[in-house]
Structure 1
Amino acid sequence: MSEVFIGTSGYSYDHWSNGVFYPPRLPKSKWLEYYSEHFQTVELNVTFYRLPQEKVFTGWCEKTPDAFRFAVKGSRYITHIKRLANLGDSLETLAKRLKLLKEKCSVVLWQLPPSMKIDLKRFDQFCRQAEKTICKRQAFEFRNESWFTDEVYDILFKHNFSLCLADAPQDIHEPITADYVYVRRHGPSGLYEGNYTKKHLGRDTKNVLKWLKDGKDVYIYFNNDVKGYAVKNAKTLLDLVSLGVKA
């Protein structure tokens, strides 16, 4: 049976404390546990900037319920510096950390830089290597429009990897290239800003219900963390989808 996982991109924001989301005086060490009482998934962005120590991954796993799921953003060293090639043991190192999350590691997200243009050979080679090394579900967020071609989609289809459906800088809503769907909502007023309207969330709800009906798992993460809108929008979408599923 297909499932939907709705949460936020990151959870450790100081501006979410003092009642915006986290209760006043709740220590940071308890934030993930509190978050997991409200959502069953989170997209980890810290892994894009640096690879935390093993004990951090173990802690994430231990602090969350059995049904909780993590999406993990791949290292910018791999995507932005090495640009998917000549990676050495980088993928293997990441894979060892991901294993510490056990079955809670659901998807790895790769975000390519805006300056990186399409390179089909390099991309296919990376997908082959990543499929052998990393978890089965992986999503790709392209920031350069040259990647939005049938040739790229064919590679994603071949590996059962998801095209990330993001709304910035381009608004991408198709195609679906895997047996799961990965969506990022960056903010209606620019990156990380703004509050999505109920009309917009209603459209997302219709899409989610269709994808679930088609037998696809769905992952949606809100990245508009300013003023805690990501939390508000994720909660609203959860409620709307729940009502739709029950109906």
Structure 2
Amino acid sequence: MAEVHVGVSGWSYDGWRGDFYPDDLPRRRWLAYVAERLTSVELNGSFYSLQRPTTYQRIADDTPDGFPVAVKGGRFITHLRRLGDVGQGLANFFASGVLLLGDGLGPLLWQLPGDFSFDDERVRSFLERLPRDHHAAARLAGRHDDKVPDDRAVTSSRTGAVIRHALEPRHPSFGEPEAVALLREQGVALVASDSPGAWPCFDEDTADFRYVRLHGHTELYASGYSSRSLDTWARKLRAWREAGQDAYVYFDNDARGRAPHDAVALIERLGQASASVS
């Protein structure tokens, strides 16, 4: 049965203390607290730099078995290399410890810069390089270089589970038929990126799952979502679920601490239960 997973993009926000997080909750318990109340989480620190295996192991330890953790691909690949000549970058990314999440590894998110317009050859080459299961990712990780030292590299996996990929472009050209057809051919989800006029919000079905990022209702990264807007998203998510598609939804409106509260409100609208709500 298809499932909807709802969470937040990141969780280490000091401004959430005393609001979403109790004042006396140690920082080391924040992720576990999130995992008790939401049904997924998106790791975005991996976008800025290669994480260490200890980071991924700690995430695995602090979340329930099967709790999906989406991981954002590195900006070295998407923004600096702009998807070109990325074989080594991908090897290092997967060797950095991603595979330690095991069956808890959710989709991999690849976000493109706003001035990156669709280029069939470049995008196709990148998508074809992406590993589609843990064993393929482990083989790719084995080709890491010294940016991930041997004593820190993770090049094996205990599961052969499928790895899903989602692409978040921010240029309207990715809504053209050629771009949509390529993503559909590759089985890569075109992210529905909701932002207050900053970027296009695509609504194309290109994979066996959906991926949604909610960046703010009226003010980018800051404003909360109205009851009416949450109702609209809940209807859309229920329709996808009933059609047999899993969906992953992450609130990124964290600047004023609205993200976790909006996520809880959406979970309630979907009639889902988080692990434990007290």
TM-score grouping bracket, smaller chain normalisation = over 0.9
CA drift at 1:136: 2.6
Residue aligning to 2:71? 72
Q: CA separation in 2, counterparts of 1:86 and 1:164?
A: 24
2:247 maps to a residue whose letter is V
CA contact (8 A) 2:87 2:129 kept: no
Residue aligning to 2:117? 117
CA drift at 1:20: 0.9
Matches within 5 A, 1:180-195: 180-195=209-224
Query: Normalised by the size of structure 1, how large is the TM-score?
Result: 0.94
Residue by residue over 1:67-97, the C-alpha shift from the partner in whole angstroms, topping out at 9 and shown as x without a partner, is 3110111000000000111114221222232
Q: Does 1:165 align with 2:165?
A: no
Residue aligning to 1:48? 47
Matches within 5 A, 1:118-137: 118-131=118-131, 134=137, 136-137=163-164
Unaligned runs of 5+ in 1: none
Q: CA separation in 2, counterparts of 1:193 and 1:227?
A: 5
CA contact (8 A) 1:40 1:67 kept: no
Query: Normalised by the size of structure 2, how large is the TM-score?
Result: 0.84
Matches within 5 A, 1:14-29: 14-17=14-17, 19-29=18-28
Q: CA separation in 2, counterparts of 1:236 and 1:163?
A: 25
Q: CA separation in 2, counterparts of 1:65 and 1:12?
A: 19
Q: CA separation in 2, counterparts of 1:6 and 1:178?
A: 18
Matches within 5 A, 1:1-247: 1-17=1-17, 19-96=18-95, 97-131=97-131, 134=137, 136-168=163-195, 169-242=198-271
Coordinate RMSD, CA, aligned: 1.4
1:159/1:136 CA distance change after superposition, 3 Å: farther
CA drift at 1:40: 2.2
Specify the SS of the correspondent of 1:227.
coil
Q: CA separation in 1, counterparts of 2:62 and 2:224?
A: 29
Specify the SS of the correspondent of 2:166.
strand
